[in-house]
Structure 1
Amino acid sequence: MSARTDVEATRTQASTGITPETLKSTLVEKLGATHVQIEDMSGGCGQMFEAIIVSPQFAKKTTLARHRLVNTTLKDEIAAIHAWTPKCHTPEEWEKKQGGAAS
């Protein structure tokens, strides 16, 4: 479903309504995410996203379980885009990764 032209890309994003903001909103609402950073890697057409997601719901879960939780939460959105790469952290892991500074 990836776009071949800018016009097609604009049409695809308009028809799906998927933006970094809509993805972030869903993750905050449904996973209680405390930090979400989403980057559109597709040049603005909304077909390829990378995300950093920080949620207390990831505690005591394996990486696979975290990804499954996110993918289930965004099932409809993921079905409409070309590529999705989440990086999932607990708040404690994220704070440690940031050098101990709160984000």
Structure 2
Amino acid sequence: MTEKLSDEARGPLLDPLFKTGWAPVDGRDAIEKTFVFNNFIDAFGWMTRVAIWAEKWDHHPEWNNVYKTVNVVLTTHDVDGLSAQDAKLARKMDSLV
């Protein structure tokens, strides 16, 4: 079962992500990042690779794509906030760029 991140777990899981461009979302227990690619094909290809992992892990991002830019928000709706699954998916997204 997925649990909301405890105060103690937030620093070790989220601080490394903040160093790679992830940021807290104002007014929500969520993180966000904007990914910019060379063109639409690169952006859509990356989204496809992420989608495979998201489906495998049953953890899906809130995202939108306009041409070469993909805006991502991660949160776990089942716990109404951030979970370890969000940090895991964020790390995977960063590794697939």
TM-score under structure 2 length normalisation: 0.37
Larger Rg belongs to? 1
